[in-house]
Chain A
Amino acid sequence: MSKLGLITKGFLKENPTFVLVLGMCPTLATTTSAMNGLEMGLATMFVLILSNIVISLISPVVPDKVHIPVYIVVIATFVTLLQLIMQAYTPDAYETLGLFIPLIVVNCIVLGRAEAFASKNSVGDSALDGIGIGLGFTVTLTIIGIVREILGSGSVFGWKFIPGDGILAFVMAPGAFLVLGYLMVLFNKLAKR
């Protein structure tokens, strides 16, 4: 796959949410607004790129039987790094995303890419893979966030353009599942063309 292909595959061909169906939990929980979705996507991309690079570097020397725990420790390290940095410098985002920052450790996207790609490819390609899948995830989360925010609060990125309350169900639990389901249908229809 070309270098450009690596970066753009995350949007359609290997879209982590609609095609690979990975990372569902943060997708549902953090897309209550466009901003939250964007922040979560970027946070995940940060961990994804760094862990892909490191795992690509060390996989030749890690014995096969312990590779899963080793990869997990590497990923957990970057997640903790992210936690500390966010707590210190972006405390508001840290509070909004809350529990889902440490949960990036068990986001199947990160471990999945480590296993499927980073452990078998060069450092450069692994970094690009991280960027590609990360961008796809970020864009998807932001789109879902935009839809839920418009329907649920009548605003987008905090700019309110529909006065009054929205359909609150969309910023709550049911809305997350419903929007994801319907967007999946839309994506499938568009991708099939």
Chain B
Amino acid sequence: MAAKSNLKNMVLSLTLVCLVCSGLLGVVYSLTAEPIRKAEEAKVNASIARVLPEGTGAPELESTVVDGITYSYYTVPGAGYAVISTVGGFGGPLSLMVGIGADGKVVNTVVLSHSETPGLGAKCTTDEPFIEQFQGWDPAVKRLAVLKDGGDVDAITASTITSRAYAKAIENAVKVYSKLMENE
């Protein structure tokens, strides 16, 4: 049924298979590289459009370091900065994109990724009142911590830890914004 199992045949067939397969994948990889890049770009642009709807030009990706942590952010012409801020949530990293306008106020926030509990912390992506409270939030006037911790954030029912993480992520984004304003 199969060819003889001597060393020459074994090495030959294994090497041949690996070469052909790697070659095929190399071709497909180069073919799909552009669509993949476009799909990812579309996703990022969709998020930026949600957090900074007033943006006019093409966003520029840059990064900066605050308190020893590197943050990526987008400079959106005509709107402000979209900062990507990740903190530890309840079930894993919680990653937000925070749009901060030229007046230093939070325009909107969107969750990029999370591992929160479905029906509880995961509501941070769907709970309208929770998300809306951050739109237009002025960090100079209101404190970014949950009510329990003496702040002004109304947490999601039974999801204090997720809400705390959400607030902290925004607070970090505001710190980044302050640093960028300093440097200007």
Contacts and interface: CB of A to CB of B under 8 A. Distances in A.
A and B touch in the complex (CB under 8 A): yes
Q: Is the interface of B mostly helix, strand, loop or mixed?
A: helix
Given A84-B28, A84-B32, 11 more contacts: A63-B2, A63-B3, A64-B5, A66-B13, A67-B2, A70-B14, A70-B17, A73-B14, A74-B21, A77-B25, A85-B28
Contacts, number: 79
Interface of A: 32, 58-67, 69-70, 73-74, 76-77, 80-81, 84-85, 87-89, 91, 120, 152, 165-166, 168, 171-172
B35 A77 contact: no
Interface in B112-129: 117-120
A24 B139 CA distance: 49
Of the candidates A67, A73, A88, A89, the one having the most CB atoms from chain B within 10 angstroms of its own CB is A88
B119 A61 contact: no
Interface size class of chain B, counting residues whose CB lies under 8 Å from the partner chain: 20 to 34
A88 B9 CA distance: 38
Interface of B: 1-6, 9-10, 13-14, 17-18, 21, 24-25, 28-29, 32, 35-36, 39-40, 43, 117-120
Contact of A80 (B25, B35, B117): B25
Q: Is the interface of A mostly helix, strand, loop or mixed?
A: helix
Nearest to B21: A77
Given A61-B13, A70-B14, A85-B32, A91 B2 contact: no
Given A62-B13, A168-B118, A81 B2 contact: no
Contacts of A168: 117-120
B39 A60 contact: no
A14 B76 CA distance: 56
